[in-house]
Each structure stands twice: as structure tokens, then as C-alpha cells.
Amino acid sequence: MTTWIDTSCILVVFLALSILATYRITGMIHIFVVQSFVLSFVPFFLHADALTGRDVMLVLATLVLKAIVAPYILFWAIRHMSMRSEVKPFIGFGTSIICGTFLIAGAFWVASSLKLPGKLISDLVIPCSLSTVLLGFMIIVTRTKAITQVLGYLVMENGIFLFALSLFDAMPTLIEMGILLDIFVAVFIMAIVVNHINEEFEHAPASLRRTKMGETL
């Protein structure tokens, strides 16, 4: 199953880079769904020969929360917002791809110099997880829309989750479920905040117009 794990790790990084290069928010969310779907099956590949109830529970929880619930909340948020694309990022999309490529190369270089105890089931888990975290952080700092920054945070968390899977046997199930629950709560709260911010900006011009009309009268 090492080949499947390596393929999943590469896909997670490629999809994170695709989010960085996409300007339509709905497209970003769809790519995040695919990334989360791929990531959710990594625990299954880790223990395909001796699958346990813990593995099945983690796969299902990850699939439901990351690939279904979180995107649903994000789509709900953008339905209440007027914008549908990232129009003016701090760094252009072409430059973002180049910078993202350098970040991936740097992540692989750093990972190659790390001395980790024990032998990992795949040599790509650490560099790919670090690459995903860095790409998610870049999405946060280079995008101007709150909803895309939320997506960057979720991509970062996917990278952290991939890294945690490298220590899968040492992590208690309670901690794993706690990570997933934290993400669900964070996305839910951020969606509400983004929605309220959008409503405030929509009502601000009308109130200003009423103020000016009162002064004129």
C-alpha cells in the first residue's frame, strides 16, 4: 500500500497548489473537497492488511467533516456574499504558482535533513505534509477575501493532519477526534463571522446615504 500512500501525498500537495492558483472561490472549495477526500483514505491505506474499527471510524469522520460538512458550511457562507472570486490578491496567480513551487522544494529539502526516530511507512509523508502546511499559509497571507483565508487555514490543517498520520499508531483516538471537532467548530464560527461582516458592509452604504440625506434636509 506504500504506492497508494505516496500517490495520495503527491495529490494532496498538487491540489493545495491548485487552490493557490485558482481565483474562483467555488473552484477552490471543490478542489478542497477532492483534497480532503483523498486525505480521508490515507488511514485506510496505512492499515489495509489489518483494518480495525479505529481506522474505519477515522476514515468516516474525516470524510464527513472535511469533505462534506466543512465545504457545505463554506458554500452556505458564499451564498450570502456578493463576491464569487478572489479579484485582487496581494500576489498574482502566476507568481503564486512560482512561489508555491519554491515552497514545495524548500519543504522537501528541510524534510530530507530531519532525523526522525523510527522508520516511516512512506518517505513522502513528511515533505508533503510540510509542503501542504506552507501552501496553506501562503493562501492565508496572499489572499484578501476572508473566505479564501478560511480555505487556507483548512489546507494548513490538512497538512498537519497528514503529518499526524505519520504517527498514527502513537496518537490516541480521542486526540484525533478532537482535531476534527476543532476544525468543524472553527469553520462554522468563521462562516458566521464572514456572513456577518458581509452584512455589515452591505448595510453601511445605505446608512451613510440616510445620514447624508438627513443633513441635507
Residue 8 neighbours by CB distance under 10 Å: 24
Residue 112 neighbours by CB distance under 10 Å: 10
In tens, the pLDDT along 29-82 reads 999 999 999 988 887 887 767 777 777 887 888 888 888 888 888 887 777 666
What are the angstrom distances between the C-alpha of 157 and each of 11, 12, 53, 67, 132? 16, 12, 24, 13, 9
Beta bridge partners of 85: 24
Taking Cα atoms as reference points, which of 188, 125, 198, 123 lies closest to residue 161? Answer: 125
In tens, the pLDDT along 171-183 reads 555 556 556 666 6
Whole-angstrom distance, CA of residue 106 vs CA of residue 131: 8
Q: Which pTM does this prediction carry?
A: 0.79
Taking Cα atoms as reference points, which of 142, 168, 159, 130 lies closest to residue 36? Answer: 159
Domain ranges of the chain: 2-216
